[in-house]
Amino acid sequence: MHAFLSVAWVLVAITVVHAAQCGRIQWGPCEAALTSLTNGTIECATLPVPLDYTQPNSSSVLNLELLRVPAATESQGSIILNFGGPGVVNRRTFAGAATDLPPLISLTHDLVTFDSRGTGNTLPFRCFESPEEQAQITAQEPDIWETLTLPTVWSNASNVEIGRRWAAGTAIAERCFEVSEDIGDLLGTAFVARDIMQVVEALDEDGMLRYWGQSYGTALGATVAAMFPDKIDRMVIDGVLNPREYFNTFEFERLASADSAFTAFFEGCVSRPDNCALVVSNVTNTTAEDLEHRVWDLIYHIRFNPIAFDGRLIDYQFLKFGILSSLYNQASFPALAAGFAALLAGDLAGFVRVWDPIIADFPGTANEQLAAIACSDRSARASSLEELMPVVERKYALSQVFGDLLPALDTVCAQWKFQAKERYEGTFEKETNFPILVIGNFADAQTPLVSAQNVSQGFSNSVLLQLNGVGHTSFAHISGCVINATLTYFENGTLPEPDTVCEPEAPLFAVPFTEASAVGATLKMH
């Protein structure tokens, strides 16, 4: 393990690192794999940055791969985007959304992203020497490597599952260390924050950062803001992770809104019964509480009585995976209700027809890379399953919906053999050059409103904008109020009044479910 360097020392050292390497970015055509994803105009570039910021005299560099969507009008500068994860391949994600995303953020700025360390072609982290080896080993050892396929592994699916996950975590941590020992400590968020500032310098604008981040991208944004508060010109963080918890704990706060988001699903169903298949037309006085109890009874019955149908198991994990995917985006709620209604009625064919597209719509992350970044950033470790069990039990108590999802990653991170060479260990109580705009949903199952509140309180001059919506980030429940606030903030620096609350454009279950309808019609990037 590398000893952590003091932030003060690194801040001094970095002022002399490779100042001449960056220069101006030379934009040009993108490769076909990216241009095929979009009808919009995109440009690409490569930028060399220091490989290891703790070695100021080293000549080793890392080539960041960048992508830009030019402003629709004369550009007022560049906004750097991060879509979360960690582990999301930002360029591919952005290329796929290039025609939709710019109007939601800004029409007057160039939008820039890059593949962060450990992802895409940027120092890619691997636990296998080749794709062929990966296919062979994961086929031979599926019980081990399914731990990194997080949505399909729920540690409370049986009373022995958490022990199996701990043993799998041991094997994963050891193998990943063997294969990627030379790069595993170079992927941390603090280094990515420094990469961002290298991009800012190379853009050759005004040397100030304009940034927009979702989900994990908010923890990255908060880290950049804490490390370089005087360099913040504009910053929007939407769907906020608490960076103090992200770096220093097993992230309990992340579960704070998970159950309330699921409850909101039932409340929305009852409020618009004509569009919710769970409400039977000839049943009067059905309450949201009644529906929720009925569905939980079904889930726990399936937990102990899986159903074999058409060559597959309809089991506890299959049901939980559908809930996970749907709670990212309220546009999936009518389909979720139709699936539960079919299963309650014993219509297994109808259930599978609905459920398979829900699961296929899961936004997902390359979890090998997620573990590499998140586990290396995290200081929390455990030497045994017995030592980890209080963490697991606390998560079970915090959330009935997702309390048994996160422990699968915890069993890996607790035993991870890499520690990021630099971890930001300073305070997140700062005043930035220009106030940060913090956006949080009322019921976000992944990043709760309380985290947005906590981060906003730390950055003393920031403004918190609350959306009374359901889903992960404001894109899950579109609000013209939020979009206008974001646009005016980036374009002229106007901030919403403190305590502003925005309403979504449409209620839950605004339209009924049809099998031909798209599941999750709004953006899902993280």
DSSP symbol at 124: -
C-alpha distances in angstroms, 40 versus 44, 71, 242, 506?
Answer: 13, 11, 34, 28
Task: Please provide the distance, in angstroms rounded to a whole number, between the alpha carbons at the two ends of the chain.
Answer: 30
Domain edges within the chain: 28-122+186-250+429-502, 131-181+364-415, 255-357+510-519
- Are 366 and 333 in contact, with CB atoms under 8 Å apart? no
Tokens of 516: 């031909």
User: Can you give the pLDDT at residue 517?
Assistant: 57
Tens of pLDDT along the chain (526 residues) come to: 333 333 333 333 333 334 334 468 999 999 999 999 998 899 999 999 999 999 999 999 999 999 999 998 899 999 999 999 998 999 999 999 888 888 888 889 999 999 999 999 999 999 999 989 988 998 899 888 888 876 678 999 999 999 999 999 999 999 999 999 999 999 999 999 999 999 999 999 999 999 999 999 999 999 999 999 999 999 999 999 999 999 999 999 999 999 999 999 999 999 999 999 999 755 666 899 999 999 999 999 999 999 999 999 999 999 999 999 999 999 999 999 999 999 999 999 999 999 999 998 887 666 889 999 999 999 999 999 999 999 999 999 999 999 999 999 999 999 999 999 999 999 999 999 999 999 999 999 999 999 999 999 999 999 999 999 999 999 999 999 999 999 999 999 999 999 999 999 999 999 988 876 544 444 444 5
User: What is the torsion angle, in degrees rounded to the nearest 10, for the CA atoms of residue 29, residue 33, residue 38 and residue 41?
Assistant: 0
* Residues 499/468, Cβ–Cβ less than 8 Å: no
Residue 434: phi and psi, rounded to 5, are -130, 145
Give the integer Cα–Cα distance in Å for 419 and 417.
7
Residue 365, pLDDT score: 63
Q: Per-residue DSSP letters for 224-236?
A: HHHH-GGGEEEEE
Predicted pLDDT at 150 = 60
Quick one: pLDDT at residue 283?
62
Domain 28-122+186-250+429-502 = CATH 3.40.50.1820: yes
pLDDT at 382: 98
